[in-house]
Structure 1
Amino acid sequence: MIRLLVSLYFVVFVSIIAINQGSEFIWQHWVYQAPDDLRHAKQVAKSLQASVSEPAHLASSIQRYSIDEIAWLAEQREQLLQGDVITTYTERNDALLSFLLKDNATLVQLGPFQPAEQVLLPKYLLKLCSFLLLAVLLMFWLRPLWRDLMQLKYVTEQLSKGQLDISIARSRFSAIATLTSQFHTMATKVANLMSNQKHLVNAVSHELRTPLARLKFALAMLEKQAPEPVYQMSQDVLEMEVLIDEMLSYARLEMAQSTLQFKPFDIVALLNEQMKKLQRITKKQIELDCPFSQLSLVAERHYIARALQNLMVNAHKYGQENIYIGVKATQSHIMLLVGDDGKGIDEKEHAKVFEPFSRLEKSRNKSSGGFGLGLAIVAKIVAWHGGQCEIQTSQWGGALFVIYLPRSH
């Protein structure tokens, strides 16, 4: 913080000093000293005063008076007696130049002259150029800072897409060079963790399935000798297989974001496809609320289908007799609704059910199937699409899951 403040203060201070000095130099040498009629006339008056000693030597067209014929202020009279050329103005704001000859009695007046025009335009142009120059200098100071910030944004986007090959071009002139270096170290560690997770998933996929296959074969050979214990052990092996499949599915989903392809498709057609699949596995009454014959959504069709499938299977497991499926739309969002007439979910547990491997003890436990990854997968897919998922109460008092998806990306 202090380093950033000192750096900015130093740049602004030096810039203002340099701009002020440069503006003063330009004003004095190029603007203020520009020639005009009045200034030129003053030079002629001084030359005339120095070269003419007698009134008779003056041209007849030049006006001459006695110094006492005009009422002068005390200061003006003193200046005339000292040999200065003074400037007075008429009612029309024209300038008159007055001076005394060497006899200190004869007053000569030249004019009238139009006064020098005000140099407002050059003055404001010079101020504008000064402010623009200050902006340019600040841009030079901000460029390394902006470059580092854009690199931080780029790295976060790469990590969010699952791309682990990241690099940062460090700049020692930036005010946040230390932060950039620390962020690069952290990003590298995160990338290594993600890479290790990927290798772990592959290892689990290959290394655990092989001994499980051997166990299944051995249990099949022993089934005739001890059918009851073998059956119980077979159920445990089957449960392990299902758990491994769920874990692998969720782990692969973690790394699938980089392959997402958002394309427009008909969400109503997709909903009908998923309903037909649900009707094959359930005897519960399905209530469909879809006032649209066709509705376009820009998203990844495969993963939206996966999210809908998980919610429908969830409603089939925990519902009693009824399942509700609905579609609503606004100008910017599409809402997908899936509900049931089960026991519902307590409001305190709404956030918890979207966490991986989270199961509610009373109404949604392992005895009814699942390992707590279905809703976590739904939440992740919805987050990828920039939407959100919330839990409400259905018309029967059970759980109602509502997915909000933006219509375009």
Structure 2
Amino acid sequence: MFSWLNKYRPLNCTLSKPGSLVYQAFFGFWLTILGIFLMLLLLSQLHPEQLESKKLRGKMLGSLIHIQHNLERFVNIKHKPIAKALKHPRLSEHKWLYLSHKKIEESVSSRPNKQQLDLSLLFFESPTEPLFIVTDKYYAYGPLPVTLNSEEYQLFQIKALKAPAFLTRIKMLPFWLKGLAILLPSIVLSILFSRRLVAPLTELGKAAKKLAQGKLSARVTVPAKRHDEIASLMHDFNFMAERLSSSVHAHKQLLADVSHELRSPLTRLTLANAMAQDTQGTTQNGYLIRIEKEAKCLDQMLSDVLTLSRLEQNQQTLQLEEVSLDALMSNLLNDAHFEAEQKDRIFNSQPIPSVTLICDGSLLNSAIENVIRNAIKYAQNHISVSFSQTADSLSIFVHDDGFGVTDEALIRLCQPFYRVSDSRNRSSGGIGLGLAITKRAVCAHNGKLILKHNTPTGLAAEIRLPL
């Protein structure tokens, strides 16, 4: 048993281990940031030229209008050459002015285009209001229409950008594209990371539920390439499940061994009691009869414990054979009728269907008898047995009109040695093993025992068996 502990102890993870969740969360965060940046960069390539434009207002518009008027005055009134007028210190000092013409070769610039900027964008066929225009390599303010020597030009002021082009593209992306670039990588990477985190926890939760339902063989499969805290938790769960399974099996084995060992002294006690009855007087004989009765109860109790132990450990060998339901239940129902009459209760049963079962007749008969006897024991007036058949199953329904049980007790009725503190208690007989044996016997036949509240009162039991 301790080999499990030695096997799993070295796999415990610490926060400093590279595969831990701390590092996974750290790398996941920065991977998301990188994904967002790459997405922004990718989307920025959708607008290789003009990225954004908006109306031009304020001082820049006023300055451009001032240049427009002066330029027209220099050329049209003072008759200065366009290129010389455009480079006049009063106009172009610290400014890059550009006169765009519909014929690109006739456009005029106050500075040489050393950066090889694509200025062909700066011409609008139809009139438009002054704009602030942003491209990946420069800003442009304009256009303002200018008529020089009877030629139509559009006046722009240009400002080359020193920042890298891709940063400018990202900065000037539309808001919805920025939102898309942030949301898409975040959602995709978050889903991937969450699935990696949640999937093993979901599997662990399912295994824990199976373990809580009594399926002691429930285990989780630990991914071979996983070495984080979750993997350690999964190993610890398997270790816990193994220890719990070993403990439960040891407990059941102990119970079975003790019960078996008690049979011998009990048999000797019964024999000695029988011999004593033959030699004692009337007064002592009453006590001896009482001892005999209690010994029989104890013998039945031990028999039930052994049966339950064998069923729980799958050691009960089923003698499977074809048995008709009529042969299985006819005598049982006749005895139930008689027992109910003795207790002034009404017992009703439907005709037994013509069905053949492959089962252990003795074990299944005992299981059905336990349910019917319980119904007779706790009913106030009526007990009923009915049947329902489908293509692949047979259901046997047993209803009583007793006081019933609470919701909490209903869940625990099939637990060994459980007795309800109200109507179903030790004073009415039994030690709480009947329904536990019935459930395991029915399960051994791949069936189900279903207990429900009867309407308006009492308990309704269904034994569902495969055909």
TM over 0.5: yes
Give the C-alpha shift of residue 195 in structure 1: 1.9
Give the C-alpha shift of residue 270 in structure 1: 4.0
- Paired with 2:247 and 2:368, the residues of 1 have a C-alpha distance of 31
RMSD of aligned Cα (Å): 5.7
Which of residues 193, 199, 211 is equivalent to 2:265? 211
Which of residues 166, 185, 191 is equivalent to 2:245? 191
Structure 1 segments unaligned to the other structure (5+ residues): 35-65, 69-73, 92-103, 110-122
Shift in CA distance, 272/300, structure 1 to aligned 2, threshold 3 Å: closer
Q: Deviations over 1:34-66 (max 9, x none)?
A: 9xxxxxxxxxxxxxxxxxxxxxxxxxxxxxxx9
Which of residues 208, 214, 222 is equivalent to 2:276? 222
- Greater shift, 273-282 or 332-341, is seen at 332-341
Correspondence 1:278 to 2:336: no
- What percentage of aligned pairs have identical amino acids? 23
Aligned residue for 1:90? 125
CA contact (8 A) 1:311 1:375 kept: yes
SS at match of 2:99: helix
User: Mapping of 1:39-58 within 5 angstroms?
Assistant: none
Correspondence 1:339 to 2:355: no
Give the C-alpha shift of residue 380 in structure 1: 6.7
SS at match of 2:309: helix
Which of residues 199, 203, 208 is equivalent to 1:146? 199
Matched AA of 2:308: Y
CA contact (8 A) 1:311 1:401 kept: no
SS at match of 2:386: strand
Aligned residue for 1:401? 460
Correspondence 1:15 to 2:51: no
Structure 2 segments unaligned to the other structure (5+ residues): 1-14, 50-80, 84-95, 101-106, 114-118, 127-147, 154-175
- Paired with 1:404 and 1:132, the residues of 2 have a C-alpha distance of 54
Aligned residue for 2:109? 81
CA contact (8 A) 1:16 1:134 kept: no
Shift in CA distance, 321/237, structure 1 to aligned 2, threshold 3 Å: same
- Greater shift, 277-286 or 134-143, is seen at 134-143
Q: Deviations over 1:296-342 (max 9, x none)?
A: 99x9999876553322122344558753112468999987532346x
- Paired with 1:198 and 1:219, the residues of 2 have a C-alpha distance of 31
- Paired with 2:185 and 2:466, the residues of 1 have a C-alpha distance of 43
- Paired with 2:29 and 2:291, the residues of 1 have a C-alpha distance of 79
Aligned residue for 1:99? none
SS at match of 1:337: strand
Q: Deviations over 1:8-45 (max 9, x none)?
A: 753443122221333455567x87669xxxxxxxxxxx
CA contact (8 A) 1:311 1:338 kept: yes
Shift in CA distance, 149/368, structure 1 to aligned 2, threshold 3 Å: closer
Shift in CA distance, 351/331, structure 1 to aligned 2, threshold 3 Å: farther
Give the C-alpha shift of residue 241 in structure 1: 0.8
Shift in CA distance, 232/274, structure 1 to aligned 2, threshold 3 Å: same
- Paired with 1:340 and 1:211, the residues of 2 have a C-alpha distance of 39
Shift in CA distance, 337/177, structure 1 to aligned 2, threshold 3 Å: same
CA contact (8 A) 2:367 2:441 kept: yes
Give the C-alpha shift of residue 203 in structure 1: 1.0
- Paired with 1:258 and 1:239, the residues of 2 have a C-alpha distance of 23
Which of residues 200, 205, 218 is equivalent to 2:254? 200
- Paired with 1:189 and 1:67, the residues of 2 have a C-alpha distance of 96
Which of residues 371, 374, 380 is equivalent to 1:314? 374
- Paired with 1:302 and 1:143, the residues of 2 have a C-alpha distance of 51
Give the C-alpha shift of residue 151 in structure 1: 5.0
SS at match of 1:198: helix
Which of residues 296, 301, 305 is equivalent to 1:238? 296
Shift in CA distance, 306/105, structure 1 to aligned 2, threshold 3 Å: farther
Give the C-alpha shift of residue 209 in structure 1: 1.4
TM-score if structure 2 supplies the norm length? 0.51
CA contact (8 A) 2:450 2:463 kept: yes
Matched AA of 2:454: Q
- Paired with 2:272 and 2:27, the residues of 1 have a C-alpha distance of 78
Correspondence 1:391 to 2:430: no
Shift in CA distance, 107/337, structure 1 to aligned 2, threshold 3 Å: same
Matched positions, count:
331
Give the C-alpha shift of residue 107 in structure 1: 9.0
Aligned residue for 2:309? 251
Shift in CA distance, 317/403, structure 1 to aligned 2, threshold 3 Å: same
